[in-house]
């Protein structure tokens, strides 16, 4: 739907055009009812020129995501709102058209002031209805935006999930074939996580993951991102970063985990991490970098765990 602030200009422009048309056609002896009909047509043509005739499917396709049941419900609600708005505008149009025609029928000549008064009432009703529709649609769009954000977040750790990684990867790696990018990927795997779950229970395992997620988020910069890659695996993408600086962050995380312990039901859970780090090379994709980082994690495991391997 076009911006509401443009409606005022459209109506004023239409009124000017209508006034000129009436003045010209009165001189030529045109029929009064024809003048009224042309006035209404002129106004709606001005609206149509500026996009107030919009295909509902096109609106939904451009404004709303239809990937979840909730989004579909919102889409349906938005369509209903749009249809109701159109119906309301039609009723407003018909009511005021009848009133304007009544004025025209009662007078041999059109009273310009009466006509302007009716058109001012028309403008007021129209703006109110459009404002009401815009408020509802804005609220729906905000709800969709919030749903989209939630769908990109891992529910347990509150880190970004695999879906978010795919979206960010497409954006970050757009020019990867053309040049080297200042991107470093760090893969992190919790050592012996199955043993933690088996010994202390899955709730304890969840607490380990939540604790690590908080540590990762507090250790990276605002424009770096941490993801839960799957299970006890995590991925950090350092954007606009040099390998040496990313290595320092990885070592700092590893040291913090190594030197701290989680107390769960009066039992000490010691955590260590195996990490694999790689920097972007010309022609790399996100997938190729993850493969190298994963191979580095495997090497760290083979060499005794609790260490960082750089490839």
Tokens of 11: 């109506």
Closest CA to 47 of 18, 76, 6, 75: 6
Give the separation between CA 229 and CA 251, rounded to whole angstroms.
Answer: 20
| DSSP structural state of residue 152 | T
The angle at the Cα of 234, spanning 157 to 193, to the nearest 5 degrees, equals: 85
Phi, psi (deg, nearest 5) at residue 276: -130, 130
Residue in 246, 310, 305, 303 with CA at minimum distance from that of residue 274: 305
Q: Are strands 233-239 and 261-264 parallel, antiparallel or unpaired?
A: unpaired
Determine contact, residues 168/237, Cβ cutoff 8 Å. Answer: yes
Active-site residue, selected from the candidate residues 34, 232, 251, 279: 232
Q: Could you identify the residue written with the tokens 């304007």? A: 100
Residue 102: CB partners within 8 Å, gap ≥ 6? none
Q: 141 with 73: CB under 8 angstroms?
A: no
Q: Residue 169: name the closest of 112, 106, 235, 116 by CA.
A: 235
- Judge whether 129 and 85 are in contact, CB under 8 Å: yes
Active site residue 279: no
Distance CA 105, CA 91 (A): 21
Give the count of alpha carbons within 13 A of 104, CB side only: 20
Residues forming the active site: 232
């Amino acid at each position: 739907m076009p911006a509401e602030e443009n409606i005022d200009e459209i109506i004023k422009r239409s009124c000017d055009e209508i006034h000129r048309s009436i003045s010209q056609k009165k001189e030529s002896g045109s029929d009064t009812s024809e003048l009224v009909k042309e006035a209404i047509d002129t106004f709606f043509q001005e609206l149509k020129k500026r996009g107030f005739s919009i295909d509902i499917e096109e609106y939904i396709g451009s404004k709303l995501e239809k990937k979840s049941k909730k989004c579909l419900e919102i889409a349906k609600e938005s369509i209903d709102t749009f249809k109701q708005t159109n119906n309301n505008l039609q009723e407003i149009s018909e009511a005021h058209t009848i009133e304007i025609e009544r004025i025209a029928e009662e007078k041999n000549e059109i009273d310009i002031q009466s006509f302007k008064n009716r058109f001012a009432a028309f403008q007021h009703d129209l703006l109110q209805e459009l404002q009401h529709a815009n408020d509802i649609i804005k609220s729906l769009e905000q709800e969709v935006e919030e749903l989209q954000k939630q769908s990109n977040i891992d529910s347990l750790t509150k880190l970004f999930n695999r879906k978010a990684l795919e979206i960010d990867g497409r954006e970050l790696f757009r020019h990867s074939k053309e040049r080297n990018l200042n991107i470093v990927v760090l893969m992190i795997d919790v050592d012996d996580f199955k043993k933690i779950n088996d010994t202390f229970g899955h709730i304890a395992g969840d607490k380990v993951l939540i604790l690590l997620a908080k540590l990762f988020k507090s250790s990276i910069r605002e424009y770096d991102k941490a993801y839960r890659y799957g299970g006890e695996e995590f991925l950090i993408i350092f954007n606009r970063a040099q390998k040496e600086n990313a290595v320092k962050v990885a070592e700092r995380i590893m040291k913090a985990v190594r030197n701290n312990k989680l107390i769960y039901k009066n039992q000490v859970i010691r955590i260590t991490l195996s990490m694999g780090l790689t920097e972007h090379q010309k022609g790399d994709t996100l997938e190729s970098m993850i493969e190298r980082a994963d191979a580095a994690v495997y090497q760290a495991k083979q060499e005794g765990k609790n260490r960082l391997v750089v490839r």
